[in-house]
Amino acid sequence: MDIPFVDLAAQYEVVRNDFLKKLDEIGKSGQYILGNECAAFEAELAEFCESRFVITVANGSDALFLILKALGVGPGDEVITAPNSFLASSWVIVATGATPKYCDVDSSFNLDPSKLEGAINERTKAIIPVHLAGIPCQIEEICNVAGKYGIFVIEDCAQAIGAKFRGRSVGTFGIGGGFSLHPLKNLGVMGDGGFITTNDEELAMQIRLLRNHGLRNRDEMMRWGYNSRLDEIQAALGRLKLKSLREWNSRVIEIANTYKNALQTYVQILDAPLDSYSVWHNFLIFTKNRDQLKNHLLQRGIDTRIHYPIPIHLQKGHNNEYSQGSFPNAEYQSTNSLSLPIYPTLDNEKVDYVIQNVKSFFEA
Residues 219, 267, single domain; the answer is: no
Residues 316, 216, single domain; the answer is: no
Residues 252, 132, single domain; the answer is: no
Looking at the structure of the chain, the number of domains it has is: 2
Which pLDDT score is estimated for 344?
97
Residues 257, 238, single domain; the answer is: no
Say if residues 276 and 138 touch (Cβ distance below 8 Å): no
Percent of the chain with pLDDT over 70: 100
Nearest to 4 by CA among 355, 357, 342: 342
The CATH code of the domain that includes 344 is 3.90.1150.10
Q: Is 330 domain-assigned?
A: yes
| Average pLDDT, integer, range 188-199 | 98
How far is the C-alpha of 16 from the C-alpha of 308, rounded, in Å? 33
Residues 194, 290, single domain; the answer is: no
Domain extent for 339: 245-363
Which pLDDT score is estimated for 320?
76
- pTM, 2 dp: 0.97
Residues 286, 199, single domain; the answer is: no
Which tens digit of pLDDT belongs to each residue from 260-312? 999 999 999 988 888 999 999 999 999 999 999 999 999 999 999 999 999 99
> What confidence tier does 180 reach under pLDDT thresholds 50, 70, 90?
very high
pLDDT at 72 over 80: yes
Which pLDDT score is estimated for 193?
98
Min mean pLDDT across 48-52, 75-79, 271-275 is at 271-275
Residues 236, 278, single domain; the answer is: no
Which tens digit of pLDDT belongs to each residue from 205-236? 999 999 999 999 999 999 999 999 999 999 99
The string of DSSP codes covering 303-319 is --B-S-SS-GGGSTT--
Q: Is 2 domain-assigned?
A: no
Which pLDDT score is estimated for 99?
97
Which tens digit of pLDDT belongs to each residue from 314-336? 999 997 789 999 999 999 999 99
pLDDT at 196 over 90: yes
Which pLDDT score is estimated for 109?
96
Q: Is 1 domain-assigned?
A: no
Q: Is 220 domain-assigned?
A: yes
Which pLDDT score is estimated for 141?
97
Q: Which SS3 state, helix, strand or coil, does residue 196 take?
A: strand
The CATH code of the domain that includes 69 is 3.40.640.10
Half-sphere exposure of 175 (CA within 13 A, CB side): 23
Which tens digit of pLDDT belongs to each residue from 105-119? 999 999 999 999 999
Residues 319, 270, single domain; the answer is: yes
Which pLDDT score is estimated for 305?
98
User: Nearest-5° angle of CA 57, CA 87, CA 82?
Assistant: 105
Q: Is 147 domain-assigned?
A: yes
Q: Is 24 domain-assigned?
A: yes
Residues 226, 250, single domain; the answer is: no
Residues 46, 33, single domain; the answer is: yes
Residues 209, 332, single domain; the answer is: no
Domain termination site, one of 215, 242, 269: 242
Q: Alpha-carbon dihedral of residues 243, 249, 252, 257, nearest 10 degrees?
A: -150
Q: Is 121 domain-assigned?
A: yes
| Average pLDDT, integer, range 127-146 | 98
Domain termination site, one of 242, 260, 285: 242
- Cα–Cα distances in angstroms (integers) from residue 337 to residues 62, 69, 133, in the given order: 28, 34, 12
Domain termination site, one of 224, 242, 260: 242
Residues 226, 330, single domain; the answer is: no
